[in-house]
Amino acid sequence: MAVLIQRAHILLQQGRFDDAFTALRQHLSTNAHDTEGLYLLTICYLETGNIAEAEQVAANTLSFAPYDDRFLYLQSRIAFIKNQYKEAIRAISSAVAINPGYAHYFAMWSQILLNKKEYEAALQKAEEGLALNPEDEVCLNLRSHALFSLGRKEEAFSNLHEALEHNPENAYTHANLGWKWLEVRDHRKALEHFRESLKIDPNNELARNGMVQAMKAKYWLYRQFLNYSFFMSRQKARTQWGIIIAIFVLTQVANQYYFPLYVILALIAISTWLITPVSNLFLRLNPYGRYALSPEQTKVSNIVGILLGATLLTGAAYLLTGISGLLALCICSGVMLLPAAGLYVAEGKKYRNFTKWYVLGLAALGILGTSFAFITKEPFNIFVTVMLIGVFGYQILANFILTKEK
């Protein structure tokens, strides 16, 4: 049976997960409590996105092997994927208590702390991992991220260059360096490293997303949006909400006392939602850019493009004809741009399903409101009013989801 375990190892390295599942199930059919086989099975589930199955196998294994640090590490990894950071830290700290000599566990701990925006603590854990293995590439990358977030940018770049000296073919390090160049507003150098990363690993999502951002960063307006995004991403959820509320209050004050400022602030607020899908529309005109977009990004840019076109056309048609139904259609198409742009804003499956049905509900209200307007000649009817309230609620909901995930 050891042959089946060796075969599963090789198949996992080759990314042949279906074949690896077959070998592992055959092995476990006669060795149900073999921890090596169960460990590989859990990895297989994680690599194929079957989080619930991975969680179940890890929990079951720990019930009869409670001191196997590998499964505590896997529990931490699963909790991290689910944004359950307190549980993730509990599990990885237990793994470290059992096996304090494995650098990768400290890398996991550092990654969790980075997502919690606890940069000093994340730096400490990355350095604890490097004390065990000075060439650990994951710890080097995480250390650079923590340093960068703490404003120690020269050290961060030096750290990444050191990592590339150890392994110039590391796709993750090239992608990480690309993002750092993008954050210091050098999209040309960023593109170089994203290209190199994708040359090494064409499936590297970090590099692919970075490539998209770097190509759009050649436009001045989008660079300003990126700067804002980077700034907000470094803030804790409480600070992000404070900024959002402050902007809202300032907008309301401007509406009372200085209307031109109100218009500017409103346009800025709306642009933060629309600039990504609208810029993706322009990117699709680029012979290379359109291949860099994910299916979801392409879908959202299509929807936004249709809604934007409908808003402009029906607005112009209403000005020419004065038909109330056209005004309602123009309003509904315009306000639907905001929820449509954030259709895939959430990372978790649960939140994505909820937002999808929420947006579909808003669209249904828009259709009803537009139909009612053509019949009654009342563009601001009950359906359109409820839809407008729903869109406002969606913005609050989306910001809550984003800050909760971060």
Q: In the chain, where are the structural domains located?
A: 1-100, 235-268, 295-406
What integer pLDDT is reported at residue 90 of this predicted model? 96
Four-way CATH pick for 1-100: 3.10.20.30, 2.60.40.10, 3.90.1580.10, 1.25.40.10? 1.25.40.10
Per-residue pLDDT, averaged over 386-393, amounts to 82
The mean pLDDT of 350-366, rounded to a whole number, is 80
Residue 199 DSSP label: H
Question: For residues 392 and 251, what is the distance between their CA atoms, to the nearest angstrom?
Answer: 15
**How far is the C-alpha of 67 from the C-alpha of 277, rounded, in Å?**
48
The rounded distance, in Å, linking the Cα atoms of 74 and 251 is 46
Residue 226 is predicted with a pLDDT of 77
Mean pLDDT of 242-263: 67
Query: CA 253 → CA 33, 250, 258, distances in Å?
Result: 65, 5, 8
141-166: pLDDT as tens digits: 999 999 999 989 999 998 888 888 88
Condensed to tens digits (0 to 9), the pLDDT of residues 14-65 reads 888 888 888 888 888 888 898 999 999 999 999 888 999 999 999 999 999 9
146 Cβ contact list (under 8 Å, min separation 6): 110, 114, 119, 120, 122, 123, 126
pLDDT confidence tier of residue 175, bands split at 50, 70 and 90: very high
Determine how many CB atoms are found less than 10 A away from the CB of residue 28: 18
The amino acid at residue 203 is N
| pLDDT for res 163 | 86
Q: pLDDT digits over 304-344, tens only? A: 888 888 888 999 999 999 898 899 899 888 888 778 776 66
